Amino acid sequence: MENPGFGEVRSISRRHQGKVYLETTAEGGFVLSDEQRDRVCVVLVRARNPNNIGAVARAMYDLGFGQLRLVTEFDRPFEGAKAAVDASEVLGAARVCRSVAEAVEDCTLVVGTTAVGARALEQPLEPVAEAAERMTAELAGETGRVAILFGSEKTGLSNEELSHCHSLLTIPMQAHAGARHPSMNLGQAAAVCLYELVRGRELPKRSAAESAMAAGESERLAGLLREVLDEAGYMRHHPANSGSEDLRRLVLRMGGRATDGPVWMGMLRQVLWRLRGGQVSEEQRDLDAR
C-alpha cells in the first residue's frame, strides 16, 4: 500500500466504524502512541463559534487526540456543534477552564499559534513543522505534556495569553493582494498542527531526569518572584520590566527542570521572609557567616 505522505506503510492494525487507522508509517518513521497522544492538550482560548469548536474536535478525533480544553467565561460554548461528526466523545470530555493558567497548569511545554501580522513577538517563533519536532521531542520523555494554544477567531491570542507560552508556531500561508494578513480557519489550523505531530519522524530519547517544570509550577514561581521584587522595592523603580507578563516570560525562558521548581521556591520564600523582617537564630547566623 502506498501513502504519498509517508512512503511505504508497514502495517495497518485497527479499524473503527469502517475507517482504517495506521499504527506505523514509513520505514524508520515514528508514530505517537495512544499514551503520548493523550499527553497533548488542544486549548481553545475565547473560541465562540460552536461550529469552529466542532471542527477542531473532529480534527482531533480523526487524528487520535482527545484532550480538549476551552478557556471561556461560558460553561459549554459548543452545544449544537454541527461540524463535530463522530467527535462527540471529544466534546463530551472537554474541560472548561476560566484562565489560560488553569488550562496549561500540568503542561511542560506550551506552544501558542499566531498568524504574526504586525505584532512584536517576545517568544521564539517557528514554522509548524519545526515546532512539531520540538513538541514530539517533549512527548518522547516519560512525563512531557504539551499544550497547543489557539486564540479566538477574530483576534487570535492576546499578549497576556501568549505570555504563558514557551514558544510560538505559525503556519506558512500564501499572502494575497489586498488581504490584511493571511489567516486560517480554526479547524483547519488545528488539523495542520495535529497532523504534523503524528506524521513519521525520528525522535531523540529523553530521560526522566530531564523532565521540564510544569506550567503551573512556573506560574507559582513567577508569582513568588513578583512578591519578592515588590517587597524589595524593585518594582517601584523598574515598573517597565517587572509586570506579570514580563516575569512569566522570564521564568519560562529559564527552562527549569521539574526538580528545580521546589528549590527556587524555597530560596525565594527565604528571601521574602528576611525582607519582611524574619528573625534569624544565632545558629543560622553562624552558618551564614561560614
pLDDT tens across 146-178, in order? 999 999 888 889 999 999 999 999 998 776 666
Asked if pLDDT for residue 16 goes beyond 60, the answer is: no
**Calpha distance 162→117 (Å, rounded):** 15
Give 131 or 253, the one with higher predicted confidence: 131
Q: What is the full DSSP assignment across 52-116?
A: HHHHHHHHHHHHT--EEEEE-SSS-TTTT-TT-TT-HHHHHT-EEESSHHHHTTT-SEEEEE---
Local confidence band at 243 (pLDDT 50, 70, 90 cut-offs): confident
The pLDDT assigned to 10 comes to 38
User: Do 215 and 102 contact (CB within 8 A), yes or no?
Assistant: no
Q: Given a cut of 70, is residue 285 above it in pLDDT?
A: no
Q: Would residue 12 be called left, alpha or beta, if left means φ above 0 and alpha means ψ between -120 and 50 degrees?
A: beta
Q: Kindly calculate the radius of gyration of the chain based on its CA atoms and give it in whole angstroms.
A: 22
The rounded distance, in Å, linking the Cα atoms of 270 and 264 is 10
Q: First and final CA of the chain: distance in angstroms?
A: 72
How would residue 191 be classed by pLDDT, with cut points 50, 70 and 90?
very high
Rounded to an integer, what distance in angstroms lies between the CA atom of residue 142 and that of residue 258?
12
List CB contacts of 3: < 8 A, sequence separation 6 or more. Answer: 9, 22, 25, 26
Mean pLDDT of all residues in 4-20: 37
Rounded Cα–Cα distance for residues 81 and 51 (Å) = 5
Q: Which three cell numbers stand for residue 199?
A: 506524521
- Could you tell me the three cell numbers for 59? 480534527
Among 17-21, 30-34, 59-63, 187-191, which stretch is predicted with the lowest mean pLDDT?
17-21
Higher per-residue pLDDT: 47 or 7? 47
Question: What is the percent of the chain where pLDDT is above 90?
Answer: 33
> Over 50: is that where the pLDDT of 6 sits?
no
Confidence of residue 104 (pLDDT cuts 50, 70, 90): very high
What pLDDT score does 287 carry? 46
Calculate mean pLDDT across residues 95-100.
93
Average pLDDT of the chain, as a whole number: 78
What was the pLDDT predicted at 3? 37
Predicted pLDDT of residue 102: 95
What's the CA gap between 110 and 147, in Å, rounded?
5
pTM of the model: 0.73
- Per DSSP, 287 falls in state H
Q: Tens digits of per-residue pLDDT, 66-97?
A: 999 999 887 666 666 656 677 888 988 999 99
Which residue ranges form the domains of the chain, and what is each CATH number? 32-208 (3.40.1280.10), 213-289 (no CATH)
How far out from the chain centre does Cα 22 lie? 26
What is the structure's pLDDT at 44?
96
